[in-house]
Amino acid sequence: MTQGPLTTEAGAPVADNQNSETAGVGGPVLVQDQLLLEKLAHFNRERIPERVVHARGAGAYGTFTVTADVTKYTRAAFLSEAGKETEVFLRFSTVAGNLGAADAVRDPRGFALKFYTEEGNYDLVGNNTPVFFIRDAIKFPDFIHTQKRDPYTGSTEADNVWDFWSLSPESTHQVTWLFGDRGIPASYRHMDGFGSHTFQWNNEAGEVFWVKYHFKTDQGIRNLTAGEAEVLAGKDPDSHQRDLREAIERGEFPSWTVGVQIMPAADAATYRFNPFDLTKVWPHADYPVVEIGRLELNRNPRNVFAEVEQSVFSPAHFVPGIGPSPDKMLQGRLFAYGDAHRYRVGINADHLPVNRPHATEARTNSRDGQLYDGRHGGAKNYEPNSFGGPGQTGRPLWQPFDGFTAGTGDHPTPAHAEDDDFVQAGDLYRLMSDEEKERLIANLAGALSQVSRDDIAERAIGNFANADADFGKRLDAAVRALRG
């Protein structure tokens, strides 16, 4: 029975619970969509302390080796030459089950890969399926609620699952995949992996390409029938985790051939369907898979909790030359994953050994909080600064999407005559009486006289001089008098 309109947590009626707000049709998702952020933030905090999704998993370390030259498509350093190796950590998982669930169940498998590159960590967080049930992150909390335990019965309910799927026709493709022969992999080693989403690659010339990642298992595809899975899940709930660990212990290192589908950016606008729709694949006849590398897992974690349970992955972790697309599901995940990790593991989860960069050093101004290890010492924790701290590069990791407003690192010419930082400050100064100006100068000079370096005071005085020449001249004289 309906009980009035759907509302936000604050009680405001919800106009649209099916589509995120975007910058133009099909464009990037807007932060102003507070319903989206509210739903995702609330959803991320619904389980303590296990992952709200992908709770059940296993992981291993390994290497990614480049086998083809892709520099005409991307400037990512870890893909810069054939033969180059990058350390990786891969976590497999089921989606809906809790931490104590069985491995051999009908459920998509998470395929979350962390590349420890020299330009920082790159996380590719996908599944063993190339598509998903929904195309917009605003529906994700609702979808997962149908897969989890019902609030009244405490059990998973077929009514909930099929009610949602039947009301969400975009799920038909993934449901067909899930209930086919590949719905229950025999092991983590015997299944393919996919980035699933569309991502951006950009090269040194700034040219943009859209790509989809494919990981083809070198062990061959093996699956379980429903009957076989039912027996195995009861007999050995840890079957997939055990299989992966023991294979690596025996020296039978599992591997995957890595390829990408590559679409020139210009093709997207006229392609026969939305290429950023997560419920669809790109036919290989249109964009064939091009081999770019080989992934091998060859080292087990020493401690499952420290390295598997506390591992965190975020689709927002990009490196130069790789970025997001207007995929609305991906856009929501860029926020949701980091938010979930900050809540579940802690604000400094990236400091843990399994999560921190291995080939470079993270240089941020974040400090304190749970798990903080004091690594920054007494270094300044703000930017910009003139004490030798890290600064911005001015070059974005990816290119702004065509047809949308300014992206990261884009600096458009001011649209209005007085779009600067000084006009109104000067106007305010000139409105003051002589007595007010004297008190202003005295207050500013008293504060500026306490800085330890002359160049800092000179920069500050220069800003006030840009607002009004008299303002700067009088302040300079007052500071010099106090500093001697």
The CATH architecture one would assign to domain 34-351 is Beta Barrel (2.40)
Sorted by where each begins, the domain ranges of the chain are 34-351, 423-483
Structure tokens belonging to residue 267: 């093709």
Residue from 44, 54, 128, 173 carrying the catalytic annotation: 54
Confidence of residue 403 (pLDDT cuts 50, 70, 90): low
337 is in an annotated binding site: yes
Angstrom distance (rounded) from CA 416 to CA 414? 6
Q: Which element (helix H / strand E) includes 437?
A: helix 434-448
In angstroms, the Cα distances linking 141 to 13, 42, 196, 423 are 18, 9, 19, 48
Share of residues in the chain with pLDDT > 70 (%)? 96
**Cis? peptide before 49, omega within 30° of 0:** yes
Number of residues that make up the chain: 484
Q: What is the reported pLDDT for 367? A: 84
pLDDT of 46 > 80? The answer is no
Angstrom distance (rounded) from CA 153 to CA 390? 54
**Cis? peptide before 315, omega within 30° of 0:** no
Angstrom distance (rounded) from CA 372 to CA 364? 13
* Average pLDDT score over residue span 75-87: 97
Residue from 17, 44, 98, 127 carrying the catalytic annotation: 127
Structure tokens belonging to residue 236: 């050995």
* 205-230 burial: b if 16+ Cβ within 10 Å, else e: eeebbbbbbbbbbebeeebbeeeebe
Confidence of residue 411 (pLDDT cuts 50, 70, 90): very low
Could you read off the pLDDT of 180-218 as tens digits, one per residue? 999 999 999 999 999 999 999 999 999 999 999 999 999
Q: What is the reported pLDDT for 361? A: 80
Residues 6+ apart with CB under 8 A from 113: 88, 89, 90, 123, 124, 125, 126, 193, 295, 313
CB 96 within 8 A of CB 53: yes
Active site residue 443: no
Could you read off the pLDDT of 256-313 as tens digits, one per residue? 999 999 999 999 999 999 999 999 999 999 999 999 999 999 999 999 999 999 999 9
DSSP states of 296-340 as a string?
EEEE--S-HIIIIIT----TT---TTEE--S-HHHHHHHHHHHHH
Confidence of residue 6 (pLDDT cuts 50, 70, 90): confident
Confidence of residue 47 (pLDDT cuts 50, 70, 90): low
CB 323 within 8 A of CB 75: no
Confidence of residue 122 (pLDDT cuts 50, 70, 90): very high
To the question of pTM greater than 0.85 for the whole model, the response is: yes
Q: Is 94 helix (H, G, I), strand (E, B) or coil?
A: strand
Which residue in the block uniquely carries the two structure tokens 């007595």? Answer: 435
Structure tokens belonging to residue 436: 């007010």
In angstroms, the Cα distances linking 195 to 124, 189, 216, 243, 426 are 6, 17, 12, 23, 53
Active site residue 127: yes
Angstrom distance (rounded) from CA 184 to CA 186? 6
pLDDT of 412 > 70? The answer is no
CB 182 within 8 A of CB 235: no
Per DSSP, what are the bridge partners of residue 68? Answer: none
Q: What is the reported pLDDT for 462? A: 94
Q: What is the reported pLDDT for 407? A: 43
Nearest to 426 by CA among 478, 476, 469: 469
Amino acid residing at 225: T
* Average pLDDT score over residue span 305-334: 94
Q: What is the reported pLDDT for 348? A: 87
Q: What is the reported pLDDT for 238? A: 97
* CA atoms in the 13 A half-sphere facing the CB of 331: 25
